Structure 1
């Protein structure tokens, strides 16, 4: 080894030694780095060597910069919460006597989910998790650690839903998708080494069958609502003529509607594609709005 390389090695070793001594907590706070390469990194104590080691999470696979910032914020919060409990990114591989408890892993996942912006996704994921926890509670020997969850255990759970509770193949696949994302979350944080859901395949499902309303059905609906519930009629006309999604329509405010320009402003904060948009409204909608006093 050349003297210059030896000097660099020694400087690196001394820096890590100094880093270990200057951080009695055993870790540094995670930091987001941006530029050509986006990543979050931090130092944490390696129990095997007693030295600080650098952990790095690459974010370049996330295309949108807005999504990178959002994911980085969630990741940093999750890492800090874990570090405060005594976790290090090396302990699962090298400290098998210190496993991650399921209750702690689930609590961290719930916090991660609740920081998401989409209300529907939050409710769906928490509902899936609640049902999965209920299944684990029903077992005679409930697993206490993340690593105790096996593929066969998950297959039994999905079979119970599909064969005994009678959910459709599509719904069963949705449960599998949730489990896959849940355990990917655990893999990303080194709670486990591999995803036990990966060997489980989706069931074949038939195409969705949608029956559009016929002209006579639309006429009956219009006549009934015109007499009994004009507010519901307005909502139906909004959906029918503007294609604003029901979840978006719930968040439309009065000042998002322009009578002069005959359009509705849909903010990127509530739209599915996260983009601002102006949607045209026709006179039929506008007249009904005015009749209702809007």
Structure 2
């Protein structure tokens, strides 16, 4: 038995800001995926994943049944018989490894589930997001529910505010385009919870709150609008500003070995870097108007193109 595939996601814009009402744009990233499997595998990964699922089943049993009900009997039986989540999505990299698992479990075991084939009204999207936030908080302590939502629907999602989200279309990629959005592997794993903790501590300071509103959210919103409308020149201007704000105010979330590289991009305009997810490790997102130039400047690192302009 092998369940359907669920893909990783990339939050192009909106990390941290969406906690405080900024816009956000999340897109599926089909390079990585995961599926529930029951094939009797005794590999180390399968055994570890199965043990993790046992703990997760116990957690799902505590979720308010008014919100969502699962066929816990079938789920428990499948887990006891060795079911595991076979995934190529790297954990702790900001591309939604737990989101894909949550989507797979909901898809297979939720009763009266909202399906992808329905007319997805704002109410249905919000209902799904609320369910997924509850399901995913087992992994992060606090979840927005967006990663599983993206993985479950496999379509780009525009976040206007926490209670106003919609499925959206993004401009078609220019396959031969010079510009690109790319991922850099930082070579280390990022833990979401401690990063969010730092952010919440900073939020207690008035100066940080003002910076978030006047700079971070302003540029994030502009980036989302520019990207969706295909205003590339303006997008890069705003991404540069956003990159600068992150370097100045979100230093703990940027792995130390990238501080110089981050600044170099801003100085040369060869590329601009931003956080991918909560930071602290995992992937870093890069934006460039000339991918060849960026490749040259970042030749010591492994890059993966996500989108071409």
How does the TM-score come out when normalised to structure 2? 0.27
Of Structure 1 and Structure 2, the greater strand share is in 2
Q: Which protein shows a greater Rg?
A: 1
**Per chain length, whose mean CA-contact separation is higher, i.e. which structure has more relative contact order (CA < 8 Å, sep 6+)?**
2
How does the TM-score come out when normalised to structure 1? 0.28
